[in-house]
């Protein structure tokens, strides 16, 4: 996600750090570089110009020159400016006064509307809502089935009609059904359209008028770059768009449109799609995005992900065992499970501050599920006794494990050696902590 911009900016600010005291020329040069970096990330020209002008103005007011922490001051100014441009405060869902809340989804063909409908339903369920999906894309025969399959997958009812009923009427009936079933949110999927497609725009307007949506979310494909901003303007002119959802930010995108859309059209970003799975939708926080762009990582996001995935009691027990150096294959298996629940390990590592820039892309790509799968297969081939007490793993047992897991004896040996290595490391660590604790120099935090 915007990795190139992050790398460019850290390079620019890193250069300032090496310089120490700054002259006005240094700052001008820095601003020029930031501007190029923004443009290369596909930020709208006018928006980039505005950002630079604001940074310059604030920098002048900060009495930057000659001060020793000029770099930190500049990073802070840039951060604040990015937050400002992204809309400052996150925008909560407008629930309306009496349910159901209607959310109308629109966007170009293939932007990710239908997928995002399902993702949004999952997100709403996590908020304790009872959503329903309405299939108002009658253009593509497969579209209804697609939504029905997704609805089934996420456990949300789908209202659909295949008897030639027109979308505005389907939407109207869906709303009635939604009320009848006492569900509180209706998400309306619509047909993908090409911008110029007048009849489809008319249809969207009619659906808008019959459902009077509380939110109109425009789904934008972030890989389309600047074009996304033009699309947003075109839709906004027709129906009042209340929010943008940028999809496919997990891919290799320049993504600068996400920085431009609000400044250029007034439409704030509300969610971002970060993967193909139905969970891969994040509520949009301007400050988190700004900090992520600047390579600070996404600590809050990381904590939320971890909290959602980890059972508190499990975590406590694991911590105690790790402290005693008392881990076994049972614990290892549990840790893998936890990591799986947290999602893509690479995505998690990218959320850790500093790490995203420190680790080269190739190294990250080598950390994969496959190697974890092999280790897991070995552990799963063990008997419960072997998992708890690896000392019993003699040669013949190791051979059996290799055969049972489709790996080799070498791999099994390596895994067992790793466990002993980890135990040793943990014991040493806790001894060290104890000693420091006794000296009273570094009191343990817990």
Ligand X SMILES: Nc1nc2c(ncn2[C@@H]2O[C@H](COP(=O)(O)OP(=O)(O)OP(=O)(O)O)[C@@H](O)[C@H]2O)c(=O)[nH]1
Residues forming the site for ligand X (CB under 6 A): 107, 109-115, 137, 140, 143, 192, 247-248, 250-251, 273-276, 280
Q: Give the nearest distance from C-beta 105 to ligand X in angstroms.
A: 8
Residue span 55-94 as binding mask against Mg ion, x where in contact by CB under 5 A, dash where not: ----------------------------------------
What lies within 8 Å, CB to CB, of 138 at 6+ separation is 144, 165, 166, 167, 170, 191
What lies within 8 Å, CB to CB, of 118 at 6+ separation is 133, 147, 150, 151, 153, 154, 156, 278
Token readout for 232 is: 């947003």
Stretch that binds Mg ion, among 113-121, 169-177, 375-383, 403-411 (CB under 5 A): 113-121
Reduce the DSSP state of residue 253 to 3 states and report it.
Answer: coil
Q: Looking at beta carbons only, is 113 or 193 nearer to Mg ion?
A: 113
Q: Which of 6, 44, 101, 114 binds Mg ion (CB under 5 A)?
A: 114
Q: Looking at beta carbons only, is 143 or 401 nearer to Mg ion?
A: 143
Please report how the helices 141-154 and 113-126 are oriented relative to each other, as an axis angle in degrees rounded to 10: 20
Q: Looking at beta carbons only, is 48 or 245 nearer to ligand X?
A: 245
Give the Cα separation of 112 and 221 in Å (integer): 7
Give the Cα separation of 77 and 41 in Å (integer): 20
Give the Cα separation of 70 and 73 in Å (integer): 5
Q: Using CB distances below 5 to 8 A depending on partner kind, what does residue 213 bind out of Mg ion, ligand X, none? A: none
Nearest residue to the partner ligand X, using Cβ: 192
Give the Cα separation of 160 and 163 in Å (integer): 10
What lies within 8 Å, CB to CB, of 327 at 6+ separation is 321, 419, 422, 423, 426
Q: Using CB distances below 5 to 8 A depending on partner kind, what does residue 437 bind out of ligand X, Mg ion, none? A: none
Q: Looking at beta carbons only, is 135 or 264 nearer to Mg ion?
A: 135
Q: Of residues 137-176, which lie at the interface with Mg ion (CB under 5 A)?
A: 143
**407 binding Mg ion? (CB under 5 A):** no
The conformation of residue 391, written as its DSSP 8-state character, comes to G
Q: Using CB distances below 5 to 8 A depending on partner kind, what does residue 414 bind out of ligand X, Mg ion, none? A: none
Q: Looking at beta carbons only, is 145 or 373 nearer to Mg ion?
A: 145
What lies within 8 Å, CB to CB, of 446 at 6+ separation is none
Q: Using CB distances below 5 to 8 A depending on partner kind, what does residue 248 bind out of Mg ion, ligand X, none? A: ligand X
Q: With CB under 5 A as the rule, give the number of residues binding Mg ion.
A: 3
Q: Looking at beta carbons only, is 111 or 356 nearer to ligand X?
A: 111
**116 binding Mg ion? (CB under 5 A):** no
Specify burial of residue 256 (Cβ count, 10 A radius: 0-12, 13-18, 19+): buried
Q: Using CB distances below 5 to 8 A depending on partner kind, what does residue 434 bind out of Mg ion, ligand X, none? A: none
Q: Looking at beta carbons only, is 8 or 113 nearer to ligand X?
A: 113
Q: Length of the chain, please?
A: 446
Which string of DSSP letters, residue by residue, matches 216-231?
EEEEEEGGGTTHHHHH
**What residues does 71 pair with on adjacent strands?**
none
Q: Give the nearest distance from C-beta 245 to Mg ion in angstroms.
A: 13
Give the Cα separation of 100 and 309 in Å (integer): 30
**247 binding Mg ion? (CB under 5 A):** no
Q: Looking at beta carbons only, is 143 or 170 nearer to Mg ion?
A: 143
Give me the residues that bind Mg ion (CB under 5 A), please. 113-114, 143
């Amino acid at each position: 996600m915007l990795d190139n911009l992050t790398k460019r900016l850290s390079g620019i600010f890193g250069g300032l750090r090496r310089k120490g005291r700054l002259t006005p020329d240094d700052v001008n040069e820095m601003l020029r570089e930031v501007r190029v970096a923004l443009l290369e990330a596909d930020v709208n020209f006018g928006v980039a110009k505005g950002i630079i002008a604001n940074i310059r103005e604030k920098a002048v007011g900060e009495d930057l020159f000659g001060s020793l922490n000029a770099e930190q001051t500049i990073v802070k100014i840039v951060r604040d400016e990015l937050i400002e441009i992204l809309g400052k405060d996150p925008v909560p869902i407008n629930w309306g006064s009496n349910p159901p809340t209607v959310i109308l989804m629109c966007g170009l063909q293939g932007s990710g509307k239908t997928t995002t409908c399902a993702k949004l339903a999952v997100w709403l369920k996590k908020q304790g809502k009872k959503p329903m999906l309405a299939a108002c894309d009658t253009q593509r025969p497969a579209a209804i089935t697609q939504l029905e399959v997704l609805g089934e997958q996420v456990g949300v009812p789908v209202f659909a009609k295949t008897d030639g009923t027109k979308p505005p009427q389907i939407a109207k009936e869906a709303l009635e059904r939604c009320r009848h079933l006492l569900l509180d949110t209706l998400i309306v999927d619509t047909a993908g359209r090409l911008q110029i497609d007048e009849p489809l725009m008319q249809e969207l307007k009619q659906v808008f008028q019959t459902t009077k949506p509380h939110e109109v979310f425009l789904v934008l494909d972030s890989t389309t770059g600047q074009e996304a901003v033009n699309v947003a303007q075109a839709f906004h002119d027709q129906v009042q768009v209340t929010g943008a959802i940028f999809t496919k930010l997990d891919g290799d995108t320049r993504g600068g449109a996400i920085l431009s859309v609000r400044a250029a059209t007034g439409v704030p970003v509300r969610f971002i799609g970060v993967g193909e799975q139905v969970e891969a939708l994040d509520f949009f926080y301007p400050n988190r995005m700004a900090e992520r762009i600047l390579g600070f990582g996404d600590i809050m996001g990381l904590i939320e992900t971890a909290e959602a995935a980890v059972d508190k009691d499990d975590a406590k027990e694991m911590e105690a065992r790790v402290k005693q150096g008392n881990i076994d294959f049972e614990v290892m298996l549990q840790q893998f499970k936890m990591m799986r629940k947290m999602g893509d390990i690479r995505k998690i590592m990218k959320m850790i501050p500093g790490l995203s820039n420190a680790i080269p892309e190739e190294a990250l790509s080598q950390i994969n599920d496959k190697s974890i799968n092999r280790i897991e297969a070995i552990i799963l081939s063990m008997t419960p006794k072997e998992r708890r007490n690896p000392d019993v793993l003699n040669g013949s047992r190791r051979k059996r494990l290799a055969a049972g897991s489709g790996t080799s004896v070498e791999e099994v040996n390596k895994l067992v050696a790793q466990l002993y290595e980890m135990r040793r490391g943990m014991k040493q660590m806790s001894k060290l902590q104890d000693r420091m604790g006794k000296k009273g120099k570094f009191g343990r935090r817990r």
